[in-house]
A and B are shown apart, each in its own frame.
Chain A
Amino acid sequence: MNDKQIAIKSENLVKKFGNFVANDHLTFEVAQGEIFGFLGANGAGKTTAIKILCGISKPTSGNIRVAGFDVYTENEKIKKNIGYMSQRFSLYEELSIWENLRFYGGIYGLSAKTIRERSEAVLKRLGLEDQRNAHVRSLPLGWKQKLAFSVAILHRPGIVFLDEPTGGVDPITRRQFWDLIYEAAADGITVFVTTHYMDEAEYCQRVSIMVDGRIVALDKPTALKNTYSCKSMEEVFLKLAR
């Protein structure tokens, strides 16, 4: 770990809403280029943490740096270096695929030429070349999510945050989605992904498991299975969450 660059570093991240502690002293590091799984049941506090790391929510306390920048003072700098795909669907339904790509490329300040080139590449990669003018509304959910992911990394960020990216999608499409994630990681993009599908946890290089706002385990999936002597991540999770 030490010889690699650190993409995300969180020390004692705390977030309180009134008396409710959503994130309780989260401490972890994510290395550059790593696929990091952020697991937990619904309501465990994953989305809260991800919003803090993305700079759209303020932490209550803790020492947190993302892409080398401090989340308290340099959150606008962080935003230049990250991509984000939210749990809720984030594309404009009434715009076409092409218009969505152009819009998001535009607000990240890419040049018109870059937008055109990269959008073409995305359409080609997803096999959507013929449907570039189709309204996003008319696409099946799985396509929408693959497109949303491609939009999130259109500006080639160092880190991409994915909040439940495969919610409600069939197993085949999920598999295809993970292929996209591997490709991004191969290009050197750090992937920070939350999920509650435990089979997906196996695809991650390292995972943390959150229960009631606290991280209760953090290691490689194989190591966790050994520690808790389980056959699958599913079992590990059930053991810890109980």
Chain B
Amino acid sequence: MRTILYILQKEFIQIFRDKFMPRIIFGMPIMQLIVLSFAATFEIKNTDIIFVDDSHSIESAHLISKFEGSAWYTVKATVRNYNEAADMLRKNQAHQILIIPRDFSEDIARGNKASLQIVTDAVDGSAAALRNGYAQAIISGYQKDIIVQKTGLDHFKQPIETSTLFWFNPELNYQTFMVPGILVLLISMMGMFLAGMNIVKEKEIGTIEQINVSPIKKSQFIIGKLLPFWLIAMFELAFGLVLAKLIFNIPMLGSVGLLFLVAGVYMVLILAIGLIISTVSDTQQQAMFIAWFFMVIFILLSGLFTPVESMPEWAQRINYLNPIAWFIKIIRLLMLKGAGFAEIKQIFFILLVYGSLMMTIAVKRYKKRV
């Protein structure tokens, strides 16, 4: 036990003596949390639209004013021909074109089916789908207006009335969704990269031989090496949670203690993976590359940015091995929905078994004698 303390002492001195490391370890994730949480949003708050108005009628002016009145739209221009509008779309000067044909107002007056055409730049497919939806919604609002005008009814009812309730996040605030996930991401990256590079660093500068030739036990050495990162990660999590509450007002419906319990187990797993990377690499550059490789795959499959359910079967199967996916699921359940131990115990035990397994492999793989 005393031996471990000596290693801990040395590791902490090494981290805090460095001019850059403390700043990077503590400053960067916090900055990232704040910046990225604002950045990571799929909401489409603004769409630049161009109208090609061939109708030139009161009706078309009314429809255009509906778009002008919407907070989601900025009217870029009203042009006479489609080619002009299409060219602007190609130059990335607008996102959408609404074409109002010549007989639009007559069709409405006669009760015929009036037609409109929406053209959306769909290079970004999901944004295009949302923009298309917005335009349709404004048009159907316009339609209701006209119906009310024509029939004189003050309310118009469909045979089926559908309403939507948004639970857990009624304002559909994207940050509520992203912040817990980004927090997981940051502590995982920090832990995996630092653990991954640490032992390789001693290999590279040669001090590892001096350690290997000493009577120190493998377990003592590894605990002494990893504990500092574990503590730093826990501290960052705590600090990040405070920021999440203060800056983003993210709810914390579940138990904080339970969250830290899960996080503690989770970090053991992450550090063990880092350690395995460290033992198979000869240089820090290599270790970094391997860690990066797994990290990017873990992150993009984790459900942080895109829903896991939308992924194909095999990708979801890969996710059984993806620690980040498990922990993001837990942290969202805990913080946003107030799940208790009963609801997360299955994942908790998966993390526990997975963590013990990886740590065993890591300790086995680290050899004092080659």
Contacts and interface: CB of A to CB of B under 8 A. Distances in A.
Q: Does a CB–CB distance below 8 Å link A and B in the complex?
A: yes
A107 B3 contact: yes
A189 to B, nearest CB: 16
A92 interface: yes
B209 A107 contact: no
Nearest to B18: A94
Contacts of A86: 206, 209-210
23 contacts: A56-B209, A56-B368, A75-B369, A77-B215, A80-B215, A88-B209, A89-B206, A90-B209, A90-B210, A95-B13, A95-B14, A102-B9, A103-B7, A103-B10, A104-B214, A106-B7, A106-B9, A107-B3, A107-B211, A107-B214, A108-B214, A108-B215, A108-B216
Contact of A82 (B3, B5, B213): B213
A90 B214 contact: no
B2 interface: yes
Contact of B7 (A55, A58, A107): A107
Interface of B: 2-3, 5-7, 9-10, 13-14, 17-18, 205-207, 209-216, 368-370
Given A84-B210, A92-B207, A99-B13, 12 more contacts: A56-B213, A57-B369, A79-B213, A79-B214, A88-B205, A88-B206, A94-B14, A95-B14, A106-B7, A107-B3, A107-B7, A108-B216
A22 interface: no
A56 B14 contact: no
Given A58-B370, A79-B213, A107-B211, A102 B6 contact: yes
Interface size bracket, A side:
20 to 34
Most chain A CB inside 10 Å of its own CB: which residue of B18, B209, B210:
B210
A106 B213 contact: no
A11 interface: no
A56 B370 contact: yes
A66 to B, nearest CB: 11
Contact of A106 (B3, B17, B209, B212): B3
A82 B210 CA distance: 11
A104 B216 CA distance: 10
B199 to A, nearest CB: 14
A56 B216 CA distance: 13
B120 to A, nearest CB: 57
A70 to B, nearest CB: 13
A90 B206 contact: yes
A54 interface: yes
B2 A106 contact: yes
A106 B224 CA distance: 12
Nearest to B206: A88
Contacts of A58: 369-370
B214 to A, nearest CB: 5
